[in-house]
């Protein structure tokens, strides 16, 4: 296996704009020179995650995550470095065939091990569906009107009624136990016995946006009410229920094209509508709608039609989903089906043309809400309760204009003042709580309180961002390690000085990129993102140097004063100490003369 050479890596980075790539995962808002979002790597309510198009880096001011486009994809997708390069190369049409990449078992990321295991499981379940063991399942699916082609397209399979269908296969393949444990597909009992999670179920593989299999939804065949109709894979490192939308890897292009997404509740609904020609469609996967889902959808479409079951539970679920989507600026409509129907049964009954027609006649979200709750008919106490519950379920507003418009609609249908709604919204415990969540542990360590520490911070900020080579040339001569008292800043200085000596023009991003210490690396990214706003960098450099020099001398003087007091108590003559003291006082006086603009002159 040939390693990918440095110049190709550079080419991959250059051809994958960080704003494009990041915004394919999360939605970014431009503010000033940078783009902002709520950080995908820690929980937060306000956006402290920023992406710089000019510097091609990202940094989170909340948790300290940071890096270039490759680091982002690695962190977000949980891939290894080579895997990420291959993915980005493919994205930008760079041919890496010549460096055909076959990672050794150790080199593979846990994600790719898990994807492989899921592929194996899909294969086994698909074959089982076609085998005699899958007869009942097959008949059931046919009875429900599914065509062979549709089932194949979505890789629908069957987990036979046995404890070790998958287990036998993974034993042959010698897949490591840790991978099995992480996958959620094989369960280890308390007495260390392994068995298949899914048994006697029709299996719907769940894929991520890039088409990697990440989990399964398993459905019982019989209508046995005691058993859960659906069981999904548990949350794993590759299956994040709050981020996965079933079917999106197949429907994304059509959703973009039509700028509309049809949202259904179940896998069967999706398959049935797909088979009937509705291709801009997704389903939730094992969880209620989350703010992340709303954000993902907003990347592909501005309009959504919620095609939920016709019964009361379905209508309530549709309202819940609408309350997540509308605040992101997605125009929602809700499909009205007869009470006993779901999209699957209904499209089979009326056909695709008539179903198209009812999609076109879907009701706007606010009027739907109004007719469902009928607030003006409620007693004041009930009305207040209904408002409170609605506001609790409300997702995050992507911007203040949308918030204003949405709340004004609510205010109209509830006959309540806007200001009251806003106040009520702020009182919402969920909102308040998450606003205070901050995941930063680096921050404490990187707090610079004294003037001397602030000077050390400024010097590093300056060195990293400056384009003036005079300053970088002077740095190793004047920034002695003992001037730095802050441990972390000292470590950072120790890393950057030699690299700068090797290459006076090295950029801050490159300094960060080459750093092997994760904390220092993040810190440098942060400084690059902040940039420097020093009007006169040379003067700043000198001022900081003088401040640190003075501090050092003052510290030494304090030490001497203590010793003097000691010898005074003991009745000794402090001859040497007095001489040292005098020396230091002279140094202090001449410090400013010694540290002058001439230090930048080189011959």
Q: Which two tokens stand for residue 249?
A: 């890897």
Counted residue by residue, the chain has a size of 603
Nearer to Zn ion by C-beta: 64 or 247?
Answer: 64
Q: Least distance in Å: CB of 41 to Zn ion?
A: 5
User: Could you say which residues in the range 18-47 bind Zn ion, by CB under 5 A?
Assistant: 39, 41-42
- SS3 for 231? strand
* Beta strands per DSSP E along 65-175: 66-67, 157-159
Q: Least distance in Å: CB of 443 to Zn ion?
A: 11
Q: Least distance in Å: CB of 45 to Zn ion?
A: 12
Q: Least distance in Å: CB of 36 to Zn ion?
A: 12
Q: Least distance in Å: CB of 48 to Zn ion?
A: 6
Q: Least distance in Å: CB of 26 to Zn ion?
A: 11
In this structure, how many other beta carbons lie within 10 angstroms of the beta carbon of residue 523? 27
Q: Least distance in Å: CB of 402 to Zn ion?
A: 24
* Residue carrying the six token digits 């982002």: 72
Query: What Rg do the C-alpha atoms of the chain give, in angstroms?
Result: 31
Nearer to Zn ion by C-beta: 72 or 484?
Answer: 72
Nearer to Zn ion by C-beta: 64 or 215?
Answer: 64
Q: Which two tokens stand for residue 122?
A: 């899909």
Nearer to Zn ion by C-beta: 72 or 154?
Answer: 72
Q: Least distance in Å: CB of 160 to Zn ion?
A: 44
In this structure, how many other beta carbons lie within 10 angstroms of the beta carbon of residue 589? 10
Q: Least distance in Å: CB of 70 to Zn ion?
A: 18
- Spatial separation of the C-alpha atoms in residues 18 and 57, rounded to whole Å: 7
Nearer to Zn ion by C-beta: 63 or 548?
Answer: 63
Nearer to Zn ion by C-beta: 65 or 363?
Answer: 65
**Per-residue x/- marks for Zn ion, 41-80, CB under 5 A?**
xx-----------------x-xx-x---------------
**Helical H segments across 99-201, by residue range:** 110-130, 135-143, 148-153, 165-172, 177-183
Nearer to Zn ion by C-beta: 51 or 271?
Answer: 51
**Helical H segments across 184-290, by residue range:** 248-258, 267-275
Helix (H), strand (E) at residue 49: strand 49-52
Q: Is residue 542 close enough to count as binding Zn ion by CB under 5 A?
A: no
**Interhelix angle for 69-77 vs 6-15, to 10°?**
80
524, 508 contact by CB (below 8 A):
yes
Q: Least distance in Å: CB of 525 to Zn ion?
A: 12
219, 264 contact by CB (below 8 A):
no
Nearer to Zn ion by C-beta: 57 or 185?
Answer: 57
Distance of CA 179 to the CA centre of its chain: 23
Nearer to Zn ion by C-beta: 201 or 526?
Answer: 526
CA distance to 29, 370, 389, per residue, from 397 (Å): 13, 21, 17
Nearer to Zn ion by C-beta: 63 or 166?
Answer: 63
Tell which residue, 179, 225, 228, 231, has the closest CA to residue 203: 231
- Spatial separation of the C-alpha atoms in residues 544 and 533, rounded to whole Å: 15
- SS3 for 132? helix
Give the interface size with Zn ion as a residue count (CB under 5 A): 7
92, 13 contact by CB (below 8 A):
no
Query: Given the rule CB under 5 A, which residues bind Zn ion?
Result: 39, 41-42, 60, 62-63, 65
């Amino acid at each position: 296996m040939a390693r990918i050479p440095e110049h190709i890596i550079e080419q991959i980075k250059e051809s994958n704009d960080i704003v494009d790539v990041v915004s394919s995962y999360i939605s970014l808002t431009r503010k000033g020179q940078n783009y902002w979002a709520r950080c995908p790597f820690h929980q937060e309510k306000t956006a402290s995650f920023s992406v710089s198009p000019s510097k091609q880096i990202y940094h989170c001011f909340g948790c300290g995550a940071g890096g270039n486009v490759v680091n982002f994809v690695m962190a977000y997708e949980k891939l290894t470095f080579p895997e990420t390069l291959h993915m980005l190369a493919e994205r930008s049409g760079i041919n890496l065939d010549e460096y055909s990449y076959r990672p050794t078992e150790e080199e593979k990321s846990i994600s790719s091990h898990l994807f492989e295991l899921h592929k194996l499981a899909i294969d086994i379940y698909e074959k089982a569906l076609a085998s005699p063991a899958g007869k009942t399942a097959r008949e059931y699916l046919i009875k429900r009107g599914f065509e062979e082609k549709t089932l194949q397209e979505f890789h629908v399979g069957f987990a036979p009624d046995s404890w070790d269908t998958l287990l036998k296969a993974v034993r042959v393949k010698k897949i490591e136990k840790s991978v099995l444990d992480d996958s959620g597909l094989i369960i280890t009992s308390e007495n260390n016995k392994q068995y298949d999670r899914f048994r006697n179920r029709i299996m719907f593989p769940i894929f991520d946006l890039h088409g990697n299999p990440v989990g399964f939804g398993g459905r019982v065949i019989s209508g046995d009410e005691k058993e859960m109709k659906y069981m999904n894979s548990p949350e794993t490192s590759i299956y994040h229920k709050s981020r996965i939308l079933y079917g999106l890897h197949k429907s994304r292009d059509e959703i973009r094209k039509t700028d509309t997404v049809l949202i259904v509740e179940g896998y069967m609904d999706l398959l049935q509508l797909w088979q009937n020609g509705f291709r801009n469609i997704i389903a939730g996967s094992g969880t209620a709608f989350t703010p992340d889902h709303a954000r993902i959808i907003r990347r592909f479409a501005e309009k959504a039609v919620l095609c939920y079951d016709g019964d009361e539970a379905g209508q309530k679920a549709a309202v819940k989903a609408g309350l997540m989507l509308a605040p992101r600026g997605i125009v929602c409509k809700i499909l009205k089906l007869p009470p006993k129907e779901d999209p699957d049964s209904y499209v089979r009954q009326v056909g695709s043309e008539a179903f198209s027609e009812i999609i076109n006649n879907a009701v706007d979200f606010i009027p739907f809400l109004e007719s469902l709750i009928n607030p003006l008919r409620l007693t004041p106490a009930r009305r207040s309760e209904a408002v409170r519950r609605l506001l609790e379920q409300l997702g995050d507003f992507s911007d203040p204009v949308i918030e204003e418009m949405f709340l004004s609609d609510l205010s109209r249908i509830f006959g309540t003042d806007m200001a009251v709604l806003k106040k009520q919204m702020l009182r919402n415990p969920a909102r308040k709580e998450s606003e205070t969540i901050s995941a930063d542990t680096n921050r404490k360590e990187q707090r610079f309180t004294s003037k001397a520490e602030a000077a050390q911070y400024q010097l590093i900020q300056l060195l990293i961002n400056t384009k003036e080579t005079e300053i970088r040339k002077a740095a190793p001569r004047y920034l002695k390690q003992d001037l730095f008292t802050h441990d972390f800043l000292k470590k950072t200085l120790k890393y950057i000085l030699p690299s700068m000596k090797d290459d006076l023009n090295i950029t801050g991003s490159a300094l960060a990129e080459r750093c092997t210490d994760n904390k220092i690396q993040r810190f440098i990214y942060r400084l690059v993102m902040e940039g420097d706003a020093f009007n006169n960098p040379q003067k700043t450099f000198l001022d900081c140097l003088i401040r640190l020099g003075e501090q050092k001398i003052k510290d030494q003087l304090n030490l001497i004063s203590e010793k003097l007091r000691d010898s005074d108590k003991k009745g000794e003559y402090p001859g040497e100490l007095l001489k040292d003291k005098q020396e230091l006082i002279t140094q202090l006086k001449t410090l400013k003369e010694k540290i002058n603009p001439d230090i930048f002159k080189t011959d």
